[in-house]
Amino acid sequence: MDSSVQLLSTISSSNIVELVRDRLTEAIITGALSPGERLVEAELARKMNISRGPIREAARLLEQQGLLESKPRRGFFVKEFGPEEIDNLFEMRTCLQVEAARLALKRAAPEDLIELRRRFKEVEERIDRREGVRRALDAGLHFHRLFFEMTRNPRFVRAFDDLATDTRHLSAALNAYEETLTGETDTYFKHHLPPIVEAFEKGDPDLLVAAVRIYLADVRKSHAATYARMRADRTAGAAKGKRKPRNDRS
pLDDT of res. 38: 92
How far is Cα 197 from Cα 3, in angstroms, rounded to an integer?
34
Residue 246: pLDDT band with limits 50, 70, 90: very low
CATH numbers and ranges of domains, the chain = 3-78 (1.10.10.10), 83-236 (1.20.120.530)
Residues 44/147, Cβ–Cβ less than 8 Å: no
- The overall average pLDDT reported for the chain is 84
How far is Cα 211 from Cα 216, in angstroms, rounded to an integer?
9
Q: How many CB atoms lie within 10 A of CB 62?
A: 22
Question: Does residue 194 carry a pLDDT above 90?
Answer: yes
Question: Does residue 226 carry a pLDDT above 80?
Answer: yes
Q: Considering all CA atoms of the chain, what is the largest pairwise distance in Å, rounded to the nearest integer?
A: 69
Q: Give 113: exposed, middle or buried? Use CB within 10 Å, 0-12, 13-18, 19+.
A: middle
Residue 89: pLDDT band with limits 50, 70, 90: very high
Residue 201: pLDDT band with limits 50, 70, 90: very high
Residues 143/119, Cβ–Cβ less than 8 Å: yes
Long-range contacts of 7-15 (CB under 8 A, 24+ apart): 7/32, 8/32, 8/44, 8/47, 8/48, 9/47, 9/48, 10/47, 10/48, 10/49, 11/48, 11/49, 11/50, 12/49, 12/50
- According to DSSP, the β-strands at 68-71 and 75-78 are antiparallel
Residues 81/35, Cβ–Cβ less than 8 Å: yes
pLDDT digits (tens, 9 = 90+) for 62-86: 998 878 999 998 999 998 878 898 9
What's the rounded mean pLDDT across residues 217-236?
Answer: 84
pLDDT digits (tens, 9 = 90+) for 3-13: 555 565 555 55
**Three-state DSSP class for residue 82:** coil
DSSP structure class, residue 39:
P
Question: Does residue 93 carry a pLDDT above 90?
Answer: yes
